[in-house]
Each structure stands twice: as C-alpha cells, then as structure tokens.
Amino acid sequence: MKKEKVGDRIIRVASDLFYRQGFNSTGINQIIAEADIAIGSLYNHFSSKNDLLMAYLIKQEQEWFKGFEDHSAKISEPGNKIISLISYRRKLQQSLKFGGCPFIKIIAEVGDSSQAVSDFAKHHKEKQKEMIRVLVNEHAGNIKNMDPEIMTEQIFLLIEGAVVTSTINKNADSFDRIQKMIETQMS
C-alpha cells in the first residue's frame, strides 16, 4: 500500500474535521494532533488555516465532479443522466449520514467573512447548474414546448431543496419525490 503524503493527510484530516464539526470549531492544534504531524509540517504545506480551507473546498469539488462522472459513466442519454444526478446526490447524502452539502455548510458558517470562500462556493454551484444546463439542452429536442433555462433552474433548485430536506429529515425520501417530479417534467 502506498504511503499517504503529508499534505494529503493534512487535507484529509482537516476535511473530515471541517465537515463534521465546522471550520470555526476546528483548531490548528487539533488538525496537527489528528494528522500526527509537527506544526512545521502543517505550515510547510499551508500558510494559514484559510489556505487549508481552500484546499478542502478544491478537494470537495474535484471529488464531487469525479464522483458524478463515475456514477453516470455508463449512461449516455441526457435525460437518464439527469435522473442519475438525483441518485448521485441521494448517495452522497447517505454516505455523509445526511450531514448536508459541504459548500452550503461552509457558506452558512463563514458567510461573507472570506470573499474567496464565498466566491468558490458560488462558482461550484454554478458549475453544477451548468452541467445540468448542458444535459437539459441535449435532452430538450425530445420535449415540445420546453424552456431549457426554466427546466435547468427547476432541476437545480429541486435537487438543492432535496439535499436540504434530507439533511433536516435524515432520510432520502425527498430525492424519490423530486425524481418523480423531474421525470414528469421531462416526458
């Protein structure tokens, strides 16, 4: 088995802590202790806790899109790919024990105190919406009188709402409901 690089271990440990207990409640000393590193090792890789937060968000984004790509790799039809996005978000929520979207959580916690974090989270959600827009536009030829922009917005908001609802209710029922809504709209 390949040994984990120190920088990767720091990001892994910090990611887990930031997600579970929050950015503000996670101290540098806790990250150092749980990563089992010296303080110098942390600062050799990250100049500040905010730099580590950005590395966490970048890692989350890369994993999110790679995860969806892997999840939907065998699906070619755009409408089915949209439905697979719902099942992917359901799977993510279940794997996170219904803890919610890391990007929503960090914005709720950090807010506008870090423009870089705020901009990154907004950009991440825009990339998700753009992915939906591409799929909707590819599927739009199959549906009469469909406005692709409205459909994109509806699908995006339904999925985001399902994530929030499943976080509150600690179950995946909202994903089943929105899947039926979206399938009806796309037919």
Q: What is the number of structural domains in the chain?
A: 2
Residues 43, 61 within the same domain: no
Q: What is the pLDDT of residues 51-106, one digit of tens each?
A: 999 999 999 999 999 999 999 999 999 999 999 999 999 999 999 999 999 999 99
pLDDT at 111: 82
Residue 97: partners with Cβ closer than 8 Å, 6 or more residues away: none
Domain that holds residue 39: 1-47
pLDDT confidence bin for 1, thresholds 50/70/90 = low
CATH of the domain at 1: 1.10.10.60
Residues 83, 159 within the same domain: yes
Asked whether residue 160 is assigned to any structural domain, the reply reads: yes
Is the predicted pLDDT of residue 143 greater than 80, yes or no? no
Residues 134, 116 within the same domain: yes
Asked whether residue 52 is assigned to any structural domain, the reply reads: no
Token code pair at residue 90: 């359901």
Residues 77, 147 within the same domain: yes
Residues 131, 158 within the same domain: yes
For 135-152, what is the mean pLDDT?
Answer: 83
Q: Are 135 and 81 in contact (CB under 8 A)?
A: yes
pLDDT at 22: 95
